[in-house]
Chains A and B, each alone.
Chain A
């Protein structure tokens, strides 16, 4: 049966092209794989191979013709004894173009619909993280993280820890101290200094069903492996139509330590929070570090767990429970107040709380919200608080451009504009690489005094 040869699409973006040259003439025999024409796209001149066999019955588009749309019949291939004219009269049904190129009205969202879900009546989750009256014990963030990992490794045989110096060295920051003795080298795996390699190996192990905890000595080094975190871990569930889950925790200290300079002092919270498919946790207190780490290990998705070197040694009250977890997406009201809302997370909370104390001395009562997880983000708690205080200041250590504060500001403006009595202020680190000199470093970081100043601005004090 005769077939039409159609103008081919020869690149992802090609819609039309020039039929530069016919390499076969009417009446020529054509075999599969023969080059029959040269086609010029916007990028290059390409050879066009025949797929079917037959005789070139008729050329429909002369060589040199420009602007030939993809899928236009350019020639007719006939079999022995057939005439191209018969076929044309018959007019074989033209090949349909991909429906994906056509946009029906259904393909578009409702006018004015925002990418962010429209605002709902906020009902923030105010349930306590652990039962009232639970006995508490004092513990550092370091101990809390270690206990969380040890408990989960006890609980689930598929959980293992891998990273640089996590085993025999007992952890570069001693988070994994004692775990090698307790669980052995099968489950506490020392790696060479190969972040990209072990980020990928960890991700592969997670795709195969294990639950790896991958420690980066610091998140600065995770940039060497960030392709696996984002392209391999975060996106595979989606790309596989839901087949390939990736239950993995990438954890380690994030943000500025002290006097380690530009390459070792960066806060990645906004970077990872930008990625659908990742969950991002950044705890402040030891209790949150423990409950959220246990939750992260149990979560069936890739979780970025951003710790902080300066907080490792700080002590907090932690519930003395055999097992407790803290759900993601639930902020904590660290301090109640009615004059202004301060939203922060991670070490930013230390500055926020110190500022709130100072402000209280001046008669300004700040409500301080610890986000705890950045993805999912507890918009409800922010909204409920802003509706009460009508003023918002965000506090974080990261760079100012494209910060978490920027995102929250935009979201609050879109969803609670009428409740705001002042523009939102984002307190962030300065827009400079971290300097080494002690005085400059101090200046580059966010300080409680800057938060106090911002609060005074939004409260017009």
Chain B
């Protein structure tokens, strides 16, 4: 689709071509991956709940650009984008979606429950807002151990109305925990719009009650997300405690695959896609600034498509977990302890 370049879209001079290309690539990977996941769901290859991240790509890609090795991340059940953005393999994520042995949790977690020790990705949590104190706990561990790691704790505008978020804010600030609370405000908690769930609609401001600084960020602009992320991370690394980023974003798809999406108009979604799409925005920057040609971007598109198709093939080919897997991973490395039936 031909888009008129908007006048305000101009890459800041301190952003390199490579950087822009990386954001474009990472966001596109998430977009195409999620489209494929939606397709596999429709084919019955993915079961249960499947929450797509389409539209919100700039949030994780912008924040991952601020992370260093050792930093941790944790999120809700809408987690595929976070995993891809932190460098987890598309194959392993897709194969987990199809419930196969090649998945990150060897098929035992599913779309909502995936983890990677190696990439410091701590899930994938299915209980709305449970990841918030858990994320503060990860940060607690880093502070306890005396390193300068930061934890990105993602949750949505829906989770922001859970009580445990505020218990966590209180303790995180009390103990100066190095945690960035990232509220991905996509404006709908399942089918309930922000306006129908609270009169206090600026979520970052709720941190004030606990002394936590925060700000609202344009989540459709990956560069704005990155700039805000750097500020937040610097605050945490300096030992000043938590920081809140309320990132205004939008999910194009339903809450889950079985969402008829009658709570908003088709036009609202289309308008967002046409005018604010985070990937198109970067594409424009790349073309406008002559950082990349149409051909280069086409080649990149193909490369991404190949990765996604490969992941889908892998996810179909990978076998289901062996039946004895039912009984493993219930308890970690048992200490030798008598003959009692540990798992009975």
CA distance A32 to B332 in the complex (A): 46
Stretch at the interface among B106-114, B182-190, B294-302: B106-114
Chain A residues within an 8 Å CB radius of B130: 200, 227-228, 231-232
CA distance A232 to B262 in the complex (A): 33
Which positions 241-259 of chain A face chain B at CB distance < 8 Å?
A: 241-245, 247
CA distance A295 to B336 in the complex (A): 11
Question: With A71-B43, A196-B133 in contact, do A329 and B98 touch (Cβ < 8 Å)?
Answer: no
CA distance A107 to B109 in the complex (A): 19
Q: Is the CB of A200 within 8 A of B134?
A: yes
Determine if B125 is an interface residue (Cβ-Cβ < 8 Å).
Answer: yes
Question: With A239-B113, A329-B342 in contact, do A71 and B137 touch (Cβ < 8 Å)?
Answer: no
* Count of chain B residues near A, Cβ 8 A: 82
Q: How many whole Å from A434's CB to the nearest CB in chain B?
A: 27
Q: Is the CB of B123 within 8 A of A46?
A: no
Chain B residues within an 8 Å CB radius of A116: 341, 344
Q: Is the CB of B163 within 8 A of A196?
A: yes
Q: Is the CB of A192 within 8 A of B258?
A: no
CA distance A198 to B335 in the complex (A): 27
Determine if B323 is an interface residue (Cβ-Cβ < 8 Å).
Answer: yes
Chain B residues within an 8 Å CB radius of A245: 332-333
Stretch at the interface among A97-105, A333-341, A388-396, A425-433: A97-105
Q: How many whole Å from A30's CB to the nearest CB in chain B?
A: 14
CA distance A88 to B273 in the complex (A): 35
Q: Is the CB of A376 within 8 A of B47?
A: no
Q: Is the CB of B144 within 8 A of A240?
A: no
Determine if B42 is an interface residue (Cβ-Cβ < 8 Å).
Answer: yes
Chain A residues within an 8 Å CB radius of B12: none
Chain A residues within an 8 Å CB radius of B333: 245, 300
CA distance A47 to B341 in the complex (A): 51
User: Which residue of chain A has the shortest Cβ distance to B260 in the bound complex?
Assistant: A44
Determine if A205 is an interface residue (Cβ-Cβ < 8 Å).
Answer: yes
Q: How many whole Å from B251's CB to the nearest CB in chain A?
A: 14
Select which of A12, A236, A242, A380 is within 8 A of B258 by beta carbon. A12
Inter-chain contact total with CB atoms closer than 8 Å: 254
Question: Which residue, of B108, B140, B328, has the highest number of chain A Cβ atoms within 10 A?
Answer: B140
Determine if B6 is an interface residue (Cβ-Cβ < 8 Å).
Answer: no
The majority secondary structure among interface residues of chain B is: loop
Chain B residues within an 8 Å CB radius of A227: 127, 130
Question: With A201-B171, A329-B340 in contact, do A238 and B330 touch (Cβ < 8 Å)?
Answer: yes
CA distance A377 to B332 in the complex (A): 17
Chain A residues within an 8 Å CB radius of B338: 125, 327-330, 378
The majority secondary structure among interface residues of chain A is: loop
User: Which residue of chain A has the shortest Cβ distance to B118 in the bound complex?
Assistant: A243
Q: Is the CB of A47 within 8 A of B261?
A: yes
Determine if B8 is an interface residue (Cβ-Cβ < 8 Å).
Answer: no
Which positions 214-251 of chain B face chain A at CB distance < 8 Å?
A: none
Chain B residues within an 8 Å CB radius of A295: 335
Determine if B33 is an interface residue (Cβ-Cβ < 8 Å).
Answer: no
Q: How many whole Å from B51's CB to the nearest CB in chain A?
A: 12
Stretch at the interface among A2-10, A354-362, A451-459: A2-10
CA distance A69 to B260 in the complex (A): 19
Determine if B9 is an interface residue (Cβ-Cβ < 8 Å).
Answer: no
Q: Is the CB of B109 within 8 A of A241?
A: yes
Question: Which residue, of B135, B145, B320, B331, has the highest number of chain A Cβ atoms within 10 A?
Answer: B331
Determine if A65 is an interface residue (Cβ-Cβ < 8 Å).
Answer: no
Select which of A33, A207, A242, A377 is within 8 A of B329 by beta carbon. A242
Select which of B39, B104, B140 is within 8 A of A205 by beta carbon. B140
Q: How many whole Å from B241's CB to the nearest CB in chain A?
A: 14
Q: How many whole Å from A224's CB to the nearest CB in chain B?
A: 9
Q: Is the CB of B35 within 8 A of A125?
A: no
Q: How many whole Å from A372's CB to the nearest CB in chain B?
A: 11
Q: Is the CB of B258 within 8 A of A99?
A: no
Determine if A276 is an interface residue (Cβ-Cβ < 8 Å).
Answer: yes
Chain A residues within an 8 Å CB radius of B339: 123-125, 329, 380
User: Which residue of chain A has the shortest Cβ distance to B96 in the bound complex?
Assistant: A241
Determine if A170 is an interface residue (Cβ-Cβ < 8 Å).
Answer: no
CA distance A207 to B266 in the complex (A): 42
Q: Is the CB of B168 within 8 A of A201?
A: yes
User: Which residue of chain A has the shortest Cβ distance to B170 in the bound complex?
Assistant: A192
Determine if A70 is an interface residue (Cβ-Cβ < 8 Å).
Answer: yes
Q: How many whole Å from B204's CB to the nearest CB in chain A?
A: 19
Chain B residues within an 8 Å CB radius of A124: 339
- Please name 24 pairs of A and B residues whose Cβ atoms are closer than 8 Å in the assembled complex, sorted by A: A10-B42, A35-B266, A98-B46, A99-B320, A192-B174, A196-B133, A197-B168, A201-B133, A202-B137, A203-B133, A204-B141, A207-B137, A210-B141, A210-B145, A239-B123, A240-B104, A240-B105, A241-B104, A241-B107, A241-B115, A242-B106, A244-B115, A276-B330, A300-B332
Q: Residues of B at under 8 Å CB distance from A?
A: 35, 38-39, 41-49, 72, 74, 98-99, 103-109, 113-117, 122-127, 130, 132-142, 144-145, 163-164, 167-168, 170-171, 174-175, 257-262, 266, 273, 316, 320, 323, 328-333, 335, 337-344
Q: A199-B133, A237-B329, A240-B114 are in contact. List 4 more A-B contacts (CB 8 A).
A: A192-B171, A197-B167, A231-B127, A376-B343
Q: Top 3 nearest A-B pairs by Cβ distance?
A: A204-B137, A200-B133, A197-B167
